[in-house]
Amino acid sequence: MEKFNKLTGNAIPLRITNVDTDMIIPKQFLKTIKRTGLGEYLFFELKFDQDGNKIDSFELNQDQYKGASILIAGKNFGCGSSREHAPWSIADYGIKCIIAPSYADIFYNNCFKNGILPIILDEETVAKLQDSAENTLNFNIDLEKQNITYLENNEQKEITFEIDPVKKKCLIEGLDDIGMTLNKSSSISNFENNQAKKTPWLYRSEII
């Protein structure tokens, strides 16, 4: 998994609450088990009408938000079914950080496993950041310092955020669940060796 420490980029203001995983990536695109190639289907039914025409009013279709790496969303983001394709599509699109007042628990944890930083801030602060994002401002996110900085009217703004220290460490070091296990490989080997000495019959490979 790619390491996350600092991020500088524009943000997409998504002023919708209760965005569920089917809205993030519709069910017809769940046939693959690959994590790549899903970015083009992100918010597909919000980007296109039933005739396949682009909906110009939707933020992801607007030129000023192209290449943005931050998504500023409404509360309860990622609710609904617990499909991993949702964070896969977000990451494949190029979004590395989401800012919202709250998330569905499973989606929130899946973000960390896919190298995405989900930041929780109060609704008033999120609304202010959405307003600032409309001015195509660059946001600087420092995970180590746990802050967001940006310029507004030539004035430096700073917002701090809280994060679980274990999840923070995993993002900074680029560790998913498998990586965390492999990080303990020497301890696992020592345990197995000691266990084999104490209970050798558990480790016999002969077929009786």
Residues 6+ apart with CB under 8 A from 111: 78, 87, 90, 98, 103, 117, 118
The per-type count for the chain, helices as H runs and strands as E runs, is 8, 8
The mean predicted confidence, pLDDT, of the chain is 91
User: Coil, strand or helix: which one is 198?
Assistant: helix
Write down the pLDDT at residue 167.
96
Angstrom distance (rounded) from CA 90 to CA 39: 6
Write down the pLDDT at residue 82.
86
- Given a cut of 70, is residue 178 above it in pLDDT? no
- Proportion of the chain above pLDDT 70, given as a percent: 93
Please indicate whether residue 25 or residue 178 has the higher confidence score (pLDDT): 25
Write down the pLDDT at residue 193.
73
Using only the alpha carbons of the chain, give its radius of gyration. 21
Which residues pair with residue 155 across a beta bridge? 152
Q: What is the pTM of this model?
A: 0.86
Contact call for residues 24 and 84 (beta carbons, < 8 A) = no
For 57-103, how does the pLDDT look when each residue is reduced to its tens digit (9 = 90+)?
Answer: 999 999 999 999 999 999 999 999 888 999 999 999 999 999 999 99
State the alpha helices, DSSP H only, in 39-104: 44-47, 85-93
Write down the pLDDT at residue 194.
76
> How big is the CA angle at 168 (ends 14 and 5), to the nearest 5 degrees?
75
Contact call for residues 117 and 11 (beta carbons, < 8 A) = no
Q: Is residue 98 within a helix (H) or strand (E), and if so which, with residue range?
A: strand 97-100
Write down the pLDDT at residue 41.
96
- Given a cut of 80, is residue 203 above it in pLDDT? no
Angstrom distance (rounded) from CA 21 to CA 37: 17
End-to-end, the C-alpha distance of the chain in Å comes to: 44
Angstrom distance (rounded) from CA 157 to CA 178: 37
Residue 132 banded pLDDT, cuts 50, 70, 90? very high
For 157-171, how does the pLDDT look when each residue is reduced to its tens digit (9 = 90+)?
Answer: 999 999 999 999 999
Residue 107 banded pLDDT, cuts 50, 70, 90? very high
Domains by residue range for the chain, with CATH: 6-175 (3.20.19.10)
